[in-house]
Amino acid sequence: MIKIKVSNLSNGRYDYDFEGKASDLEIYEPYIGNFVTNVVLSKFDNQIIIDAETGIKANLICDRCANEFHSVIKSNFRNVYLFRVNIKDAEGEKEDVIFIHPDTDKIDLDKDIRDYAVLAVPMKNLCSEDCKGLCPKCGKNLNEGLCNCNEEEIDPRWEPIQKLKSKNK
């Protein structure tokens, strides 16, 4: 789906913007809606460098208050493609580059966009930095207001002192 035509491309820097349904790239939960991918391609005599950044809206669940919230997760990657006439010979030569034939027509980015998007999903999610979470006693979402649990509760160890105080009054 995301293919960049590289045959007959002269040396230089190129910008591409792609947009479409995340599901068309086989990107699913927690992602929803559309993806937006910006690609910067640099073409040289013997190589192509691709820098891609993707943003996709995700439907996440807050670890503290268990509410669903939406957030755009960004992911990016850089691929280095080296031109090689005889790709078989070059296999295993270098792990961090991709060998392509100089006559390659198109570079397909679907799989990389998908793989990096999946890796970018955070392990921990908070609906906001200062999410107050749930009351451990009654389970009320404290972002929506306070419950009555904590205020009236007195640590039993302080009870005698509390009584003394009220006597002195």
- Which residues here bind Zn ion, judged by CB under 5 A? 62, 64-65, 127, 131, 135, 137-138, 140, 147, 149
Q: How far is the CB of 149 from Zn ion (least distance, A)?
A: 3
Rounded Cα–Cα distance for residues 44 and 38 (Å) = 20
34-39 contacts, C-beta under 8 A, 24 or more apart: 35/113, 35/117, 37/2, 37/109, 37/113, 39/4, 39/15, 39/109
Nearest distance from C-beta of residue 32 to Zn ion, angstroms = 19
* Shortest Cβ 128–Zn ion spacing (Å): 6
- What's CA 56's distance to the chain center, in Å? 8
Dist. CA 50–CA 146, nearest whole Å: 51
Nearest approach, Cβ of residue 133 and Zn ion (Å): 6
Closer to Zn ion at the Cβ: 4 or 147? 147
**Closer residue to Zn ion in complex, CB, 65/117:** 65
CA atoms within 13 A on the CB side of 154: 8
Q: Smaller CB distance to Zn ion: residue 68 or 105?
A: 68
**Choice between 101 and 137, CB closer to Zn ion:** 137
